[in-house]
Homo-oligomer: A and B are copies of this chain.
């Protein structure tokens, strides 16, 4: 998993350059939407722009860094690792989401370990920069609130859909979630590996595998290309609603 030295997780990131938020063409989707261009002219600490390959650890739970990450493109998993080594994925976050926001609050360190699931294109924003922007532009606070509300909605869905009911239903919900939130332009989505699925639903890898294999056999889930899949949404919804 690349966490053997505690440092390796940075070496595989590709530095794209200093971020120029005032010229960012997707800013209206991001944390800094609605801030004027001028807001970024005198930043004390720069915002850097990176691309991380899949599997990269962006940060680890408990580590004391001071960066918020704004995801431009890609999927990041937030994982909790228990003392016994077992782990549970608490959220998947994609385009436009900001992670590490707990640092803006009470928290002195990250609450989760954040790992790139796909290639992830992101901006790394020092907490001090957020504070600077926030004091000049109180409106930023509203966007932080929106990010939090959004993540809270996702967390609630996680509890309701992925942590409730029989294994078959949970896995069906998971596939629906991938379809809904992470489909690409071609309408297909990456089918994450069984280990991650198990960590998302709280069931055993083998059980997840059985369900996915079953869906494939029933043609409810089928390969589009490479690791991209498509699914029969109605059929999966039907499975979910079978009490």
User: Could you list which residues of chain A lie within 8 angstroms of chain B, going by C-beta atoms?
Assistant: 80, 82-84, 86, 88, 90, 101-102, 104-106, 111-112, 138, 141-142, 144-146, 148-153, 155-156, 158-160, 163-165, 202, 241, 243
Contact = CB atoms under 8 A, between A and B. Distances in A.
B152 A202 contact: no
A150 B163 CA distance: 21
A84 B243 contact: yes
Contacts of A88: 159-160, 164
Contact of A156 (B86, B90, B145, B148): B90
A149 B102 contact: yes
Interface of A is mostly: helix
A219 B150 CA distance: 42
Contacts of A163: 159, 163-164, 202
A126 to B, nearest CB: 19
A5 to B, nearest CB: 26
A104 B145 contact: yes
A164 B202 contact: yes
Given A105-B149, A106-B149, A111-B153, 11 more contacts: A80-B156, A80-B160, A83-B241, A84-B243, A88-B164, A90-B159, A104-B145, A141-B141, A152-B152, A155-B159, A163-B202
